[in-house]
Amino acid sequence: MRDQSVWRDINRRNRDWLRPWEATIPPPTPHGPVTHRPTYRQMVRHLRSEAKAGRMLPFVIEYQGRLVGQLTVAGITWGSMCSGHIGYWVDESVAGRGVMPTAVALVTDHCFRNVGLHRIEICIRPENRPSRRVVEKLGFREEGLRPRYLHIDGGWRDHLVFALTAEEVPDGLLARWRRRRAASAPESGRAARPPRNSTNAPGNPTDPWN
């Protein structure tokens, strides 16, 4: 609950940045319940309840000691599946610094090595090229299209499915991500830095989710 004011400030500043990719509440059906976007306190209580039930792993993302985003492992299923799916968002101000791929790699390793999951999915709108770059950099496999999968930005949107299993990263996803970053660095040995611009809007050359 202590993060409420910081969380609200980040979301307010990033409203236009996040809106095209953010889940929304669909209109109620004639016989369905009327639901509303949760308040911050309701969101936190829901995340805690689902985590306690073993169905969710909620995280905040910190960069240089400050909160810059969220990452949640949801839909955790045990038994013969042992699977979950990851969703995330990040503050535009830290785009292009490797924050999101690193966060996804850390959490994926935690799910495989400590939690005991076998498969992780990430579902992304085909139009969300920056977010797709995150999974491409990390080596998630594209498995296909789920038509009208989630209600996003006021409508039912198609999503591409990307997945990874524990056997595909025996040394850990973070280790593989670090090797790939090192291999793509300039010959001088200095860390590669992606280009920046003033907007970082989706569709621009930079990767707002990384």
Q: How far is CA 157 from the centre of its chain?
A: 17
What tokens appear for 154 in the block?
A: 């006021």
How many residues can be counted in the chain?
210
User: What distances in angstroms separate CA 120 from CA 71, 80, 87, one per listed residue?
Assistant: 13, 14, 11
Residue by residue, pLDDT tens for the chain (210 residues) are 899 999 999 999 999 989 898 888 888 776 766 577 889 999 999 999 999 999 999 999 999 999 999 999 999 999 999 999 999 999 999 988 899 999 999 999 999 999 999 999 999 999 998 899 999 999 999 999 999 999 999 899 999 999 999 999 999 999 999 999 899 876 444 443 433 333 233 333 333 444
Give the Cα separation of 62 and 48 in Å (integer): 19
**Whole-number Å distance between alpha carbons of 176 and 174:** 5
**In this structure, what token pair is assigned to residue 42?**
């309701």
CA–CA separation, 116 and 35 (whole Å): 33
Calpha distance 9→7 (Å, rounded): 5
